[in-house]
Amino acid sequence: MINELTILENLQTTIQEHLNEFLVSQDIWISGKDVALDFPDPDQMKDSKMLYIVPDYVNYEALATRNDQSEFRITVFVLCKRNTATNLATQVFAYSRALYQTVRKYKELGGIVDFTDVNSMDFYPAVDLNKSVQGMEISLTVRYTKDF
């Protein structure tokens, strides 16, 4: 049975394995440690760029007696720091665009869900009132069938 933690882990793995495919024209990249299932904390960032995956909520709709149609909302935060304001904005938008493309191409997250959509992106020119940290909040919806 698919559960929400499995989906979060598969999203993390999908980002770790495929995001760099969409950063080839940029002079930036991510490593496995740059993607975390955690709430963003600019003071505790392990690197100058991080992607944080945070679960939001799940809706269940009865589909049949043995399964539900589920909609799982997830927020991905992209944070970049330790650079000029222009470079930070360029990096944040590059990582966000690459995440969008990754989700569009690998929308089944390794075959465990029906599909994943990007709903919205909100840019933050200063995180925690710190202009040397910029970020993007990206809202995702994952749709899948939850069997009992």
> What domain count does the chain have?
1
Domain that holds residue 104: 4-147
Q: Which residue has the tokens 């910029």?
A: 134
CATH number of the domain that 9 lies in? 3.30.2000.10
At 143, is the secondary structure helix, strand, or coil?
Answer: strand
In 2-92, the DSSP E strands lie at 35-36, 49-64, 67-81
Give tens-digit pLDDT for 2-20: 899 999 999 999 999 999 9
At 16, is the secondary structure helix, strand, or coil?
Answer: helix
The CA distance from 34 to 49, in Å, is 7
Give tens-digit pLDDT for 19-69: 999 997 777 899 999 999 999 999 999 899 999 999 999 998 887 777 889
